[in-house]
Amino acid sequence: MKKINEILGMKYPIIQGAMANIATGEFAAACSNAGAFGIVAVGGLPPEKFEEEIIKCKKLTDKPFGVNIMLMHPQADDIADIIARNPVAAVTTGAGNPGKYISMWKEKGIFVMPVVASVLLAERMVNAGADAVIAEGTESGGHVGEMTTMALVPQMVDRLDVPVIAAGGIADGRGMAAAYALGACGVQVGTCLLASNECPIHENYKQAVVKAGDNATVVTGRSAHAPVRVLKNKMARKYLQMELKGSDRDELEKLTLGSLRKAVFDGDADNGSLMSGQICGLVKEIRPLAEIFEEMTEGCNKVIDDLQGR
């Protein structure tokens, strides 16, 4: 089995997960320069701003990088065209079916990797032409599905003929080795990168991740069919109370409007949406990206050697 770094051409088999408002051109370039595969995230950016971030990333790195499109973006068609006009090494897609864009991207030589949380969806993506899939378990930070990485990855590996990348709950060499054991060809990580020197989030957000324990996250938005994993704080607790009371989608949206920006830019640890995965309890210090990627890969090799009794 080819590892994802052999397919995409980076040093380590690690993809930096897209993170709305965080994965800028500068951050993606820093990840690629540190040996992983950087991804510029569109999040809620207007199309022209997204294009600027892609161009910025191209200027800052000569290494391969990709982009992420959230298909629920109101201008998804324009964003898909921008990706075709600025061909990058790969595109990851979330929150919808990218089927109608896949042939346009592939004509430009772009490798297409939808992020999926169920085998059925993954099969649909592969039938639509996806080159690989990213199996994202519910341990992840941000928008989540129901299945765990442990249960999802081997089922996807068994059912698909394309490479599967594991995401959700991975932050060190043990996690990476587990992903390989389940049949994945590499990993995508998000939470552990929040605690990097280069990550452009407010210091308060980084500290909240570093101080978080194993049970520090909660999923909000299940009642609105938009589940999001965040650190427990004043806002998350209020949101959950409102969901219990049966508040409608509009009221809930009012509470969370701009809340990720509050966390990322203002460092508002009470009222911001501090998206984070369950693996935050393993993330104990803020470190350079290069160290995070190198240690994860070396740690993985050591685990595999140990298992083989070397």
Among residues 54, 275, 289, 290, which is the contact residue for ligand FMN, using CB under 6 A?
Answer: 275
Whether the Cβ atoms of residue 220 and residue 305 lie closer than 8 Å to each other: no
Residue facing ligand FMN at closest CB distance: 190
Q: What is the CB neighbour count within 10 angstroms for residue 75?
A: 15
Shorter beta-carbon distance to ligand FMN: residue 192 or 303: 192
Q: Does 198 bind ligand FMN (CB under 6 A)?
A: no
* β-pairing verdict for 133-136 and 111-116: parallel
Shorter beta-carbon distance to ligand FMN: residue 61 or 93: 93
Applying CB under 6 A, the site for ligand FMN has a residue count of 28
Angle (nearest 5°) at CA 152 between 278 and 17: 55
Shorter beta-carbon distance to ligand FMN: residue 25 or 94: 94
**Which tokens sit at 48?**
């022209």
Q: Does 91 bind ligand FMN (CB under 6 A)?
A: no
3-state class (DSSP) for residue 75:
coil
Q: Does 145 bind ligand FMN (CB under 6 A)?
A: no
Q: Does 41 bind ligand FMN (CB under 6 A)?
A: yes
* β-pairing verdict for 65-70 and 38-41: parallel
What pairs with residue 40 in β-bridges?
Answer: 67
Shorter beta-carbon distance to ligand FMN: residue 13 or 168: 168
Q: Does 19 bind ligand FMN (CB under 6 A)?
A: yes
**Least CB distance from residue 246 to ligand FMN, whole Å?**
28
Select the span of 27-35, 132-140, 282-290, 295-303 touching ligand FMN (CB under 6 A).
Answer: 132-140
| Alpha-carbon separation of residue 87 from 11, 57, 90, 104, 122 (angstroms) | 21, 12, 8, 11, 24
**Which tokens sit at 283?**
């993330």
Among residues 7, 8, 10, 17, which is the contact residue for ligand FMN, using CB under 6 A?
Answer: 17
61, amino acid identity: T
Ramachandran angles phi, psi of 204, nearest 5°: -60, -35
- Contacting positions for ligand FMN (CB under 6 A): 17-20, 22, 41, 43, 68, 70, 94, 115, 136, 139-142, 167-170, 188-191, 275-277, 279
